[in-house]
Structure 1
Amino acid sequence: MAASSPTPVSVAIVGAGPRGVGVLERIAANLGELWSPGAKLVVHLIDPYPAGPGRIWRYDQSPLLKLNSMAADVTMFTDETSTIDGPVLTGPSLIDWAEGVRLGTILLRGDRLDVALRAEIDGLTPATFPTRRLQSLYLTWFHERALEQVGDGAEVREHLARVRRVTDAPGGGQRLELDSGATLEADLVLYSLGHTGADPEPEHSRLADFAARRELYYLPPAFTADADTRPIVPGQRVLVRGFGLAAVDLIVLLTEGRGGRFVADGDRVRYVPSGQEPRIIIGSRRGVPYHSKIGSTLKGEKPEPRFFTPAVANRLEAERESLDFASDVWPLIAQEMLWGYYRELFTGHPDRVAIGWAEFAAQFQELDPRASVLADAAGPDAAGPDAAGPAGSGGSGGSGGPRSRGSRGHALPDLGEGDERDRVLADATRLTALIESSVLEEIDRLFLPSFDRPLGGASFADLDEVQHAVRDYVERDLALRTRPEHSATLGLFFALLTSLFAFTEIVASPKWTARSRVDDLNGWWLGYFSFIASGPPAHRLEELLALSEAGVVQFVGGEMWVETDEEGGVFRAGGASHPETVTATALIDARLPGTSVARTDNEVLRLLLESGTALEEVARDADYAVPTGLLSVRPEDRRVLHSSGEPTDRAYAIGPYTNSPFVGAFSRPRTNALSFRENDRVARALLEHAVAIAQDRADASLPRPGMFSDRLWFEFVAEPL
């Protein structure tokens, strides 16, 4: 408990999006245990955007943009699964909150529940993908509830401003200069800056310079809601490099956002152009969009992790002197993925297989886990020009070189040498034979290499063939992810999700090799997971097909390359699987900016580094040393590390720009969310630190010998405070 002190103790939370407000909620939850009513605590909440949603989830954005999660899969509240030291304070998920609003048991302040949002709430189901504007209202309400929970335990002061500079203040605190002209002092600062942008990489600077000289349009990696695409004119040819969620959102804004309409046409969707759309030419390394969200339900045995569980993860961490994700963990996850997929196929759809699950499972379990990574219909995926692992998303040169199976989206494990390597490759061949002999239809056969690179090795005569190939792939993906007879894909999803939860047990381990930290954990793994599990809703892919059939969208295929044509004054692009090239007067790099604190466009973060108050992490071991682009924080409490490597006195940081494990701003209910665990840990660290500051001030305020001439100093000490 904090002792009474003559002046308040203050905490500044810089960034009031979901993470910052999530920490505020945890401060409120822990006040009763850690803070004394006799001391005053002030929390400054600082953000140029409204507290709760912050910038990314702000209310003021296109109503066409949606969450990538269903309404039943979003919550901001701890629950009975949360392993935290502070108290659990339950609350409604997004779907439960919407039901409360619909019934009138939850009241919203202000007038932002317009006709469109009211209609959305009235029609919302657990499987609906809500708009970002609706999520903004949920986050605003969560913020208001957190303020109510604070009550009289502390004072929260909100500042609708941006922090421009943070410096040391006399007495050991921090002085924060705001762009409003105001200055405030805080004893502790928590930086919760969310996704920050970055100054352009050399390639992006070169492309921007070319576009400026030739009066073209270029959009470097950016946040979709912030992108200004107004200069793109109707009919203009636009290259889009990247096929993830950012690309899907951009396509929505450039088509439906310009007045186009999607209408039902039997069991398909047809696009009715407005005439304001550009001509979109899109490609990527894979050449296809992320896999659709799954709409089926399980038919077979209940999913249970078998090969990679939290216990297995913790045992690996305890037994190994060092950890390498590609060799130690990835094969177990791959094995778990195939196990989850085929268990659902065999137990849920026995009419689609030739043998029983027990027979398949017995043979599968005998194989080396690395065989699950390599087994493919075309033979073990263990060699080739790209054998070193995942490639980038496409550079700015020509395609060149021999055609391979396509750049991997994942790394290869160490296969060993001699007899060991031969044994692993033989097991991969055995697994392929097992799958092909026991699974009746080709569409039901899952091989991870071809699943990762669906266009790998394909050769097309022209772009017309590419269009048909990508459309066929998207239609096949929709069938696999939405039809009840293909619920095995849901088994795959659950296997990958439980593997992710197991992985969180050891993700913060100091035993990871430096190379694995950079290339795997902060490299290909998140993108690979997103490709499988974080794709767009099915209706977005149905709309993509309609746009392709309407001639608004053209596919350029996989291994996309882009180059500048100085003579023609255009951008030029192509792919590895066909000989044609295309030209355009606009280029969009459809992805988020890469995380790099050294190149950050966030002024306060950049000044922290320049002043030595903060430190960019360097992944380092005996064999490897490279900057990660992430801010170094102390694992146990997320205190910022000084350039000396020691923790700073007054600064903490959370978010994707730090080297703490990446966690989302919100989570699925009842999953013991890592983000909520981190919020609670940081909130308690801040309160405990604030208690120590209050105690120091209380001690300093006590009378000391010589302060008074007519009374003995110990008489004052003996009096109750």
Structure 2
Amino acid sequence: MTEEEREVPLARPLVLAPMAGGPSTPALAAAVAEAGCLPFLAAGYLPPAQLRQDIDELERRISAPFGVNLFTPDPGGRVGDPVAYRRYRQQVLQVSDAEESLLPREPVWSDDAFAEKLEVALHSTARFISFTFGHPSQEVIKRVHAMGKQVVLYATSRPGIETIAASHADVIGIQGPNAGGHRATVAGADDNSSEPLIPLVQHALAVSKKPIFAGGGVANASDVLALLRAGAAAVQVGTLFLDANEAGTKETHRRALRELTDRTSVVTRAFTGRPARAISNRFTECLSGYAPEMYPQLHFLTSAVRKQANEHGDAENLNLWAGTGFTHVAAEPAARIAESLLPYTPTIADPIARDADARGHRVAVVGAGPRGLAVVERLVSLAATTGNKIDIDWYDDTSFGAGRVWSPYQTTALLMNTVSSQLSAFPDSSTGFGDNYVQGPAFYDWLQTPEADEWLAHDPVLLAERMNVEPNTYTSRALYGAYLTWAAERIIGAAGTNVRVRCISCRVTSLEIEGDARALTTSDGTSRNYDCVVLALGHLPARPTSREHRRLATADGANFLYVPTGDATVQTAAKLASKQNVLLLGLGPTFFDYLELLTTALGGRYVRTDEGLDYEPSGREPNLYVSSRRGVPYHARGVNEKAPEERWEPKFLTLAYAEQLRRQRKTRPVSFGRDVWPAVVREVELAYTLAQSNEHSAGLRPEDIYAALTAGPEAHRRLRKDAGLPTSGFPWENVLEPRISTDDVESIAQFQQRAIVYLERDISEARRGNKRGAFKSALDVLRDIRNEVRQAVQEGTITDWSFREELSSFYTPFNSFVSIGPPLYRVEQLAAAMRAGTVTLLPPDPFLSPDADMRTVTVTGRYFPSEPISVDGVVEARQSRVDASGTADPLLRHLLDSSIAAVHRFDDDRSSSGAVSVSPHDFRVLDPEGVPDDRILLYGVPSEGINWGTAATIRPFVNSVILQDADTIVRRVLSRLANTQTDI
């Protein structure tokens, strides 16, 4: 089984814990699965025939993934201590008044029919088999893998986690000390720890790449969010489902959960001989101090006592298993409980009802980020005018509206690089849609509303952040993601009676052409047909490049850590924190994410003093070395001085100029370097001169500067000279070829000092603002005119050579470097961390040389002084290049492999742009022969090599590209549907 095949198939990051002894039922598991979560059936104490029956019933109800939990027997505890057993038997009789004949006189041992139940689980459709109370043999694990299933092993301590990390298990289950029922301590091992759950999760992340199911004492959504943000792949919950309508919990137990809320829960061996947490009662109070450690002997001893207590409604002698959060238990349907724990995930459409209730044309939207949200909004708004009944199925396995990048479940350490007042999710008057759109507040405006308070009520972390947001605050991505999920609910709720939107929490893995239908298959194995499919895709996972493969292969099995390109995550940062010296390659947005995750997220503090910002290390940080091809970080964003609707209105690179270029291409080739770049340069020069004129009260008018720039560079120089400004104009040489001088550098420390001076100059310029500060206001122009650049360079306007060599190779990375950099505060943090010695900025173009046993890598370079650096971890701290041919996304891979789609190639030499080939003006997917599919449309990052500038978020009142593209796509879809007779 490959790593991709072993990926944990979680539609929603919640796992139903196996609750042996009755609460775990097929009905409960089915309800949780239909809510998009992963249920586990408890096999403990069940006869094999009953387990088979329960699995059969569950398989009839669902096709979604589920797991089975088995008790691993401890042969070493077969005999036990007969004397201690008899003594404890007498104590039980005195406390419980049970009939003596019902209590076994001698210890009883059983392996819980382990081998038989393992066979039942192996021959079921269960995707997971978990083992409690012990670890199975390697032979058992191999058999589980051979049957295409994954192994979950549990730990309650750091040594236990390390044991699983070194094993062939697929998932580490971590049970904290607040968990209800039996703790998953391994029999005979010193694995019982009182260490809190989140530190255990962090330790597991540091020592293993395996996904983590974490649980224990979860009381509410706030607890779930904390564990997910700490890096757990999913949160395991049991106690909160004990009173669910579908649970098989004993009635006496249910009543105790509701009525004994003034009591605490305690860990006791009184009922079974193993540590288990239960609501305190007479039995635990009287016997906890006397129970010997004998499992399952004490389980069989007290079985009759417990049965009698339940029948008589006697809560004082019943094992009232419950975690510390038991006072939050509610008698509700399981699906509602699951939804309350995941506040940013909408109700999942029931698959059976959805298929039976389809009424008209069927449209699938794949991708739940802002692009997918924009398509759904346009469908909701425009379909209302057609009168046709349309069923919209919206697919993704992330948060609807937010997608993966803006997930509200992620750590709040990762920030936006756009201020709160310049973010939105809704169309507005700038789009030209008239009144035909779903109206809603922009992000900052929403944060001021009661709706925001209500939406964030279950999330104290984001609620606290909201209270401190100003218009120019760079918020966490999680907070923006929470807003996007609210916007998704609002847009779905605005659908008229002829439109239905259903959210389906599944990953789409393939798309087939079946006559006039387009069939989607999802990760749960379900296939459905649609009239049209819209692929609204963002950044997709990429397979490692050949160089990354070589470095991964070299590091594999060694103590060295190598991380290929991709997003900075809590999971990766935890592994880096265990290293001593780490090299980060890249100085863009991903690097700044790592900087945060490896400083303040590890306990360090940035402190503002009269001299500036200082960093106080926690001692947990690795030594961070940083370098890149340029050798300098992305430019800091200037302090925002612009209103939400305010942007630079181009004077040279206008839409009229773009249209002129399209006409011009009929008579001569159009290139970016000759026809577009000069207009960009003049826009920057105009903004720069105007800001300098305002700053020095030189009195220059925009029209005067425009006229001088139109006349040529010499006229512009004369104008500046006459106004008393330096004649040189914008310092292009410092921007196009930035450099920290390495001349006469004799040590890395000396280079550091020069680097800090460079950063402080950038910080000073950023503080002057993006309107009053001439330098940053000029750079902000490049961000503001992206729409116009896109209009001027759309495929077919400039030549293929120019698109590839001038736009993609030069302007795109240059534009990112100067206009989408980090907030000012992040660059201040970098300078502070450098002064503190936590971060060392190295000269550009480092050369890596692994040592003989691959435990360290030596870093040198042609610009380096003779002072090599040794590191034990290397991170490609940058986003991977958009290249569809190297995608790891299963859907896009399938489309390319089946020739439904193709990688775009330039006509001049057939080289690839890396984009998925689509019609550039209506987004229809093209096959390898260039034939468009009217029923499959795609936009977003995978088409970036054709449709330049698609990666920007939605801004209010600037006619964002995402909204216009979505409108074009939906109008194309509705036109197609108008000519389609659906009988799918």
TM-score, structure 2 length as denominator?
Answer: 0.59
Rounded to whole Å, the distance in 2 between the matches of 1:41 and 1:358 is 52
Aligned equivalent of 1:609, options 880, 896, 899: 896
Q: What is the deviation of 1:29?
A: 0.7
Instruction: Judge conservation of contact 1:514–1:625 (CA < 8 Å) in 2.
Output: no
Rounded to whole Å, the distance in 1 between the matches of 2:907 and 2:749 is 48
Match of 1:29 in 2: 381
1:52 aligns with 2:401: yes
SS at match of 1:620: coil
Q: Percent identity at matched positions? A: 27
Match of 1:648 in 2: 933
CA-to-partner distance for each residue in 1:19-64, whole Å, 9 max, x for gaps? 112100110110222233xxx3211111111211111111221111
Aligned equivalent of 1:342, options 682, 689, 705: 689
Q: What is the deviation of 1:632?
A: 0.9
Match of 2:440 in 1: 91
Letter of the 2:911 counterpart: V
> Would the alpha carbon gap of residues 296 and 575 (structure 1) be closer, same or farther in structure 2, given more than 3 Å must change?
farther
Rounded to whole Å, the distance in 1 between the matches of 2:540 and 2:708 is 48
Matches within 5 A, 1:123-522: 123-169=468-514, 171-212=515-556, 214-225=558-569, 228-234=572-578, 236-295=580-639, 297=641, 305-320=650-665, 321-350=668-697, 365-367=710-712, 446-455=730-739, 458-459=742-743, 460-483=745-768, 487-522=773-808
CA-to-partner distance for each residue in 1:351-390, whole Å, 9 max, x for gaps? 8x9x99999877655435xxxxxxxxxxxxxxxxxxxxxx
Q: What is the deviation of 1:616?
A: 0.9
Letter of the 2:732 counterpart: L
SS at match of 1:557: coil
SS at match of 2:418: coil
Rounded to whole Å, the distance in 2 between the matches of 1:559 and 1:673 is 37
Rounded to whole Å, the distance in 2 between the matches of 1:504 and 1:85 is 24
> Would the alpha carbon gap of residues 498 and 486 (structure 1) be closer, same or farther in structure 2, given more than 3 Å must change?
closer
Q: What is the deviation of 1:187?
A: 2.1
1:20 aligns with 2:372: yes
Letter of the 1:686 counterpart: V
State the superposition RMSD in angstroms: 3.1
Structure 2: 5+ residue stretches without partners: 1-356
Size of the aligned set, in residue pairs, is 619
Aligned equivalent of 2:844, options 545, 558, 577: 558
Matches within 5 A, 1:524-673: 524-566=810-852, 569-580=855-866, 581-621=868-908, 624-658=909-943, 659-664=946-951, 666-673=953-960
1:684 aligns with 2:968: no
SS at match of 1:628: strand
SS at match of 1:630: strand
> Would the alpha carbon gap of residues 25 and 364 (structure 1) be closer, same or farther in structure 2, given more than 3 Å must change?
closer
1:67 aligns with 2:416: yes
Q: What is the deviation of 1:280?
A: 0.5
Rounded to whole Å, the distance in 1 between the matches of 2:764 and 2:422 is 23
Q: Which moved more, 1:319-328 or 1:49-58?
A: 319-328
SS at match of 2:940: coil
Rounded to whole Å, the distance in 1 between the matches of 2:372 and 2:647 is 37
Rounded to whole Å, the distance in 2 between the matches of 1:573 and 1:174 is 52
SS at match of 2:980: helix
Rounded to whole Å, the distance in 2 between the matches of 1:440 and 1:625 is 49
CA-to-partner distance for each residue in 1:517-562, whole Å, 9 max, x for gaps? 2223333322211211111111111111111111100010233443
Rounded to whole Å, the distance in 2 between the matches of 1:435 and 1:128 is 35
Q: What is the deviation of 1:121?
A: 1.5
Match of 2:82 in 1: none
> Would the alpha carbon gap of residues 683 and 325 (structure 1) be closer, same or farther in structure 2, given more than 3 Å must change?
same
Letter of the 1:44 counterpart: D
CA-to-partner distance for each residue in 1:627-679, whole Å, 9 max, x for gaps? 11111112332111122211124211111102333323632211111110011
Match of 1:378 in 2: none
> Would the alpha carbon gap of residues 288 and 665 (structure 1) be closer, same or farther in structure 2, given more than 3 Å must change?
closer
Instruction: Judge conservation of contact 2:456–2:463 (CA < 8 Å) in 1.
Output: no
SS at match of 1:252: helix
Rounded to whole Å, the distance in 2 between the matches of 1:168 and 1:361 is 54
Matches within 5 A, 1:702-721: none
SS at match of 1:123: coil
Q: What is the deviation of 1:563?
A: 4.0
Instruction: Judge conservation of contact 2:419–2:471 (CA < 8 Å) in 1.
Output: yes
Match of 2:174 in 1: none
Match of 2:294 in 1: none
Match of 1:394 in 2: none
Rounded to whole Å, the distance in 1 between the matches of 2:904 and 2:917 is 5
Rounded to whole Å, the distance in 2 between the matches of 1:656 and 1:61 is 21
Rounded to whole Å, the distance in 1 between the matches of 2:938 and 2:428 is 24
SS at match of 1:150: coil
Structure 1: 5+ residue stretches without partners: 369-426, 699-721
Letter of the 1:255 counterpart: T
Rounded to whole Å, the distance in 2 between the matches of 1:228 and 1:59 is 19
SS at match of 2:965: helix
Q: What is the deviation of 1:589?
A: 0.7
Letter of the 1:230 counterpart: A
Q: What is the deviation of 1:236?
A: 1.1
Instruction: Judge conservation of contact 1:14–1:45 (CA < 8 Å) in 2.
Output: yes
> Would the alpha carbon gap of residues 168 and 451 (structure 1) be closer, same or farther in structure 2, given more than 3 Å must change?
closer
CA-to-partner distance for each residue in 1:89-148, whole Å, 9 max, x for gaps? 432111001011xxx255644754x22222221221110001111111110011001111
Rounded to whole Å, the distance in 2 between the matches of 1:669 and 1:571 is 47
Rounded to whole Å, the distance in 2 between the matches of 1:173 and 1:568 is 53
Rounded to whole Å, the distance in 1 between the matches of 2:569 and 2:968 is 32
Instruction: Judge conservation of contact 1:47–1:160 (CA < 8 Å) in 2.
Output: yes
Instruction: Judge conservation of contact 1:293–1:537 (CA < 8 Å) in 2.
Output: yes
Rounded to whole Å, the distance in 2 between the matches of 1:303 and 1:630 is 29
> Would the alpha carbon gap of residues 483 and 645 (structure 1) be closer, same or farther in structure 2, given more than 3 Å must change?
closer
> Would the alpha carbon gap of residues 91 and 559 (structure 1) be closer, same or farther in structure 2, given more than 3 Å must change?
same
Letter of the 2:676 counterpart: V
Rounded to whole Å, the distance in 2 between the matches of 1:274 and 1:70 is 29
Rounded to whole Å, the distance in 2 between the matches of 1:224 and 1:525 is 25
Q: Which has more radius of gyration? A: 2
Letter of the 2:650 counterpart: P
Instruction: Judge conservation of contact 2:565–2:878 (CA < 8 Å) in 1.
Output: yes
CA-to-partner distance for each residue in 1:457-481, whole Å, 9 max, x for gaps? 6412221121111111111111111
